[in-house]
């Protein structure tokens, strides 16, 4: 019985899949401060033009550069595993598969986009990338990519995480990256925040503002900004996960998948696994495709599809997405990567089209699932990933009740070895579930009142 | 050009290689307190008989149980990678390969033996395993194996590590293991140590004594002790690494290996990669086989081959090995796994036979090599593993000087994500090299004066 399914280096997918080409109705364009669609040119101070082209591309398949593949080979194709031991523990007739993205050097799926982003920037003549990081996963991945591609990387890390997670900073420095706490005195945005409150714990919103400011104000013009999720080109780069998974399932004769699962904060690891299966669904296959979020930050399950800023400081264009409002601050749960007020526009659109079925799971069920997984399959997953595990277990139990031999696949987006504090608190009984009261959500949504509303089916040509 | 070489699940080696069958002269037996060879029976209170049989076996090939393989598939066969980016940075004509053992759930090679040890104990009717751990790598691996096989695991962790590395304890607990600081009030050995000094930082010697005491005094007879290195059966289980590597090299047409490298504390990861190549050398192949140790703990390069206890407390039988004396306390370097006063008897014997060529490398060169590796190949290796990387870089530079297209392979025994503090101190310039003065070594060797001396070529039949 196959437990482990691998692909040889020469079986790696050589193109990314761009779902924008196949969505039944066109994507709504991002809007500028004046409420009008922004042109690709307007993003040029922030991103290099070759990535902007990917951001707006309608091509179904986009070639992966050979030099990018040469780096990805260090951990890709990643293994597909069958959770035979978890299946047995659950007594389910379902066959559960998981794609192990924890084998990358930084330990998550993030380098799948960090490497091409660094490479395209380098090709475009850029010498330095700036970014922000919350829990540290993305800052580590971009530092790693910068080292291998040959780019300077500067990471603004939210001060409270910077203080609480010193190991993430050391990881970044080992790869030659620079990591500084945000707010910092380096930027206008940072200085303003510090003036307001010298002891501020910082926020992702401020860190994004600082990173963008440093990129766009570099007089040499050789600095750009890089984002680890949400945007179209980021999700595009992650589709290598699902494309590999399909080849692997085919290799062992699993020709029909019933359920596809990934956790979703900004949405990139979910989209990476799921979008190639969404294509099958668009073409008529019956598949349940489930992005999983925490009940404490129910963007997809309880928030409207609206135009909103990607950041708290309102520096980014307005993006069409499910959003709790840019002012929303989720309760402190341990899955830091899932604490985002919005979700990728491409995912929002697939929700609106009825192609995927979001689910929200409370924190304790996720940790319980993660511990079951660790003690059956052996892997200690990241707190974010635990949401996918919990959903897979729900689906496997459902299959048992229904007596159906379903095929379930989920994305094991990262290991939890850098985030063990959450497990410790779970064992100590210190964690709680957060389910947001409706009036709190309504209050948060005030932030988007007065902003333009997206219209589905309206032409979305940039 | 192949960068990544993988094996399918069905290509996994199905037998371990036992080098004891092929050593030119027989192994010297362990001795009891009376100076006479001990019989296998005498180890029965400590280890289950099926593992004792492996310990004394002279069979060349030993079957790997199907149920053990079924667990190993979670991360095995592990990838073989070619360090094309490191080669380029060094400008070497050598081709450098590394076996990535960091992909196991606990992040190192240790589970390769933890799983079969747990499985054989379970087969023998054992319900609980005790062990000690220094830096925490082995305690984590055994807890992981205990969870998957279904055995209780209790780990005595040296108190100073227990206090300094709280994350290791959380890892063990996530897998259901129990981790307590040693010395503890649970055992006579622990109570004695605490009475002597209530604030003692503990030592590996005391922790071993506590773990063995708990195993042998359990009135149910259902508890045994487990060791993560040094012993014959531990090295045997690790040979799956080298056997896989040989298949992988063959797959890409690398039919001649010139240099094989592994770091060596107790010696198991080195032996795991190297012993299958030592067999080739015994059969006439020309290969340099290099176990690498720190200059601060120069067991193989500067200590005699002698009979000595495996632990400070002198609870273990006398083992024939290169040893600095059981009282030797190495300077505090960050590669905790290489701070052992002895080295596996099987490795000692291959040194005596002239089959392998030990090397000692100082700490700073190792960290420098690890940083070069992280910034070219991308992987942040464990401080122990950095010794293998440093040696591989030495050999690659030598090949460049000689203008030779050598094939070098080393074992990347584990990642360093749980041990980033050493990198931080290296960057801060706080680390130093330790080269032991000769008189200090001589003083340490006083501990083995008066103990029996091993005679090579004397019959070693147990």
- What pLDDT was estimated at residue B460? 45
Q: Which residue has the higher pLDDT, B455 or A254?
A: A254
Q: Mean pLDDT, to the nearest integer, of B141-150?
A: 98
Q: Which CATH architecture fits B4-9+64-107+232-448?
A: 3-Layer(aba) Sandwich (3.40)
B74 contact residues in A (CB cutoff 8 A)? 3-4, 81, 377-379
> Is pLDDT of B462 > 50?
no
Whether residue A461 has pLDDT greater than 50: no
Of B34, B57, B19, B28, give the one whose Cα is nearest residue B307.
B28
A444 CB contacts (<8 Å, ≥6 apart)? A324, A325, A327, A328, A341
Q: Whose structure tokens read 């090295």?
A: B235
Nearest to B414 by CA among B99, B83, B174: B99
Q: With CB atoms and an 8 Å threshold, state whether B379 touches A105.
A: yes
Distance from CA of A413 to the nearest CA of B (A): 14
The pLDDT value given to residue B457: 59
Q: How many Cβ pairs within 8 Å bridge chains A and B? A: 125
Per DSSP, the three-state class of A304 is coil
Distance CA B293, CA B218 (A): 37
When pLDDT is averaged across residues A74-100 and rounded to a whole number, the result is 98
Do B306 and B453 contact (CB within 8 A), yes or no? yes
Band of the pLDDT at B281, cuts 50, 70, 90?
Answer: very high
Q: Are B298 and B309 contacting, i.e. CB atoms less than 8 angstroms apart?
A: no
Convert the pLDDT of each residue in B78-99 to its tens digit.
999 999 999 999 999 999 999 9
pLDDT score of A62 more than 50: yes
The predicted pLDDT at position A205 comes to 83
Residue A66: burial class (beta carbons within 10 Å; 0-12, 13-18, 19+): exposed
Mean pLDDT across B408-414: 98
Closest among A445, A404, A412 to A258, alpha carbons compared: A404
Q: Is B389 left (phi over 0), alpha (psi -120 to 50) or beta?
A: alpha
The secondary structure of A194-249, three-state, reads HHHCCCCCCCHHHHHHHHHHHHHHCCCCCEEECCCCCCHHHHHHHCHHHHHHHHHH
Q: Which residue has the higher pLDDT, B235 or B329?
A: B235
Give residue A203's pLDDT.
86
pLDDT digits (tens, 9 = 90+) for A400-440: 999 999 999 999 999 999 999 999 999 999 999 999 999 99
Interface test with A, best of B140, B376, B380, B431 (most A CBs within 10 A): B380
User: A16: helix, coil or strand?
Assistant: strand
**Beta carbons of A74 and B420 less than 8 Å apart:** no
Convert A127-141 to b/e letters by CB count within 10 Å (16 or more is b). ebbbbbbbbbbbbbb
| Torsional sign, CA B399, B402, B406, B410 | negative
The tokens describing A318, both together, are: 């307005």
Chain B interface test: which of A75, A146, A417, A425 (most B C-beta within 10 Å): A417
Separation between Cα atoms, residue A45 and residue A54, nearest integer Å: 16
* pLDDT at residue A283 in the model: 96
- Residue numbers in B near A4 (CB within 8 A): 8-9, 73-74, 76
Average pLDDT of the residues in B16-31: 94
Closest chain B C-alpha to A67 CA, distance in angstroms? 11
Residue in chain A closest to B145 (alpha carbons) equals A378
Range with lowest mean pLDDT among A25-39, A58-72, B113-127: A25-39
How sure is the predictor about A304, in pLDDT bands with cuts at 50, 70 and 90? very high
Find the CB nearest A375 among B103, B176, B420.
Answer: B176
pLDDT tens sequence across A221-247: 999 999 999 999 999 999 999 999 999
Q: How far apart are CA B324 and CA B340, in angstroms?
A: 9
Q: Give the percent of chain A with pLDDT over 90.
A: 88
Joined tokens for residue A109: 């799926």
Both tokens assigned to B187: 């055992």
Give residue A313's pLDDT: 78
B105 contact residues in A (CB cutoff 8 A): 374, 378-380, 415
Mean pLDDT of B132-143: 94
Q: To the nearest whole angstrom, how far is the Cα of B361 from the nearest Cα of chain A?
A: 21
Which residues of chain A lie closer than 8 angstroms to B8, CB-CB? 4, 6
Cβ contact, residue pair A417, B171, below 8 Å: yes
Which has the closest alpha carbon to B369: B395, B391, B396?
Answer: B391
The span from the CA of A401 to the CA of A398, in Å, is 5
Average pLDDT over residues B439-458: 87
pLDDT at A410: 99
So what's the pLDDT on residue A462? 43
Could you report the per-residue pLDDT of A325-382, keeping only the tens digit for each? 998 888 888 888 898 899 999 999 999 999 999 999 999 999 999 999 999 999 999 9
Q: What is the pLDDT of residue A460?
A: 45
Interface touch B418/A417, C-beta < 8 Å = yes
Backbone phi, psi, residue A22, to 5°: -120, -5
Beta strands in A310-418 (DSSP E): 318-322, 359-361, 407-412
Closest in B9, B170, B424 to A4, CB measured: B9
pLDDT tens-digit series, residues A164-194: 888 999 999 999 999 999 999 999 999 999 9
Q: Which of A106, A252, A378 is best to mutate for the B interface (most B CBs within 10 A)?
A: A378
Domain assignments of chain A as residue spans, ordered by start: 4-9+64-107+232-448
Predicted pLDDT of residue B193: 92
Chain B CA closest to residue A171:
B420
pTM (global) more than 0.95: yes
Q: Which residues contact B282 (CB under 8 A, 6 or more apart)?
A: B22, B24, B355
Mean pLDDT for all residues in chain B? 95
**pLDDT-derived band of residue B336, with 50, 70 and 90 as boundaries?**
confident
Is B461 a residue whose pLDDT tops 60? no
CB contacts of A9 in chain B (<8 Å) are 2-6
Q: What is the mean pLDDT of residues A92-117?
A: 98
How do residues B177-196 score in pLDDT, each as one tens digit? 999 999 999 999 999 999 99
- B413 neighbors B263 (Cβ within 8 angstroms): yes
């Amino acid at each position: 019985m196959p437990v482990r399914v691998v692909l040889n280096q020469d079986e790696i997918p050589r193109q990314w899949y761009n779902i924008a080409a196949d969505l039944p109705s066109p994507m709504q364009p991002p809007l500028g401060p004046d409420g009008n669609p922004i042109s690709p040119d307007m993003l040029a101070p922030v991103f290099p033009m070759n990535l902007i082209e990917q951001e707006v591309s309608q091509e179904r398949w986009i070639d992966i550069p050979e030099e990018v593949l040469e780096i990805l080979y260090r951990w890709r194709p990643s293994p597909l595993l069958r959770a035979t031991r978890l299946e047995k523990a659950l007594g389910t007739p379902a066959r559960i598969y998981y794609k192990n993205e924890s084998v990358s050097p930084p330990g998550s799926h993030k380098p799948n986009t960090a490497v091409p982003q660094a490479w395209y920037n380098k090709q475009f003549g850029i010498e330095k990338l700036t970014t922000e990081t919350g829990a540290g996963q993305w800052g580590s991945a971009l530092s790693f990519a910068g080292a291998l591609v040959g780019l300077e990387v500067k990471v603004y890390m939210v001060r409270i995480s910077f203080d609480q997670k010193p190991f993430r900073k050391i990881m970044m420095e080992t790869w030659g990256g620079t990591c500084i706490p945000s707010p910092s005195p380096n930027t206008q945005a940072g200085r303003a925040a510090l003036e307001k409150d010298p002891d501020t714990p910082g926020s992702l919103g401020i860190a994004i503002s600082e990173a963008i400011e440093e990129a766009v104000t570099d007089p040499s013009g050789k600095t750009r900004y890089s984002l680890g999720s949400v945007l179209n080109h980021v999700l595009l780069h992650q589709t290598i996960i699902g494309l590999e998974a399909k080849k692997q399932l085919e290799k062992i004769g699993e020709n029909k998948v019933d359920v596809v699962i990934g956790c979703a904060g900004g949405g990139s690891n979910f989209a990476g696994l799921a979008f190639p299966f969404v294509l099958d669904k668009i073409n008529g296959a019956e598949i349940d495709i489930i992005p999983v979020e925490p009940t404490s930050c129910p963007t997809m399950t309880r928030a409207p599809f609206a135009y909103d800023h990607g950041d708290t400081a309102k520096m980014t264009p307005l993006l069409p997405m499910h959003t709790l409002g840019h002012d929303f601050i989720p309760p402190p749960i341990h899955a830091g990567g899932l604490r985002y007020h919005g979700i990728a526009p491409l995912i929002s659109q697939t929700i609106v089209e009825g192609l995927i079925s979001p689910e929200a799971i409370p924190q304790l069920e996720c940790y319980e699932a993660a511990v079951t997984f660790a003690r059956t399959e052996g892997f200690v997953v990241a707190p974010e990933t635990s949401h996918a595990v919990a959903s897979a277990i729900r689906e496997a139990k459902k299959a048992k009740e229904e007596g159906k031999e379903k095929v379930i696949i989920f994305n094991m987006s990262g290991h939890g070895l850098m985030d063990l504090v959450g497990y410790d608190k779970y064992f100590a009984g210190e964690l709680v579930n957060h389910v947001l009261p409706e009036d709190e959500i309504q209050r948060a949504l005030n932030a988007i009142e007065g902003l333009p509303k997206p219209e589905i089916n309206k032409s979305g040509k940039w």
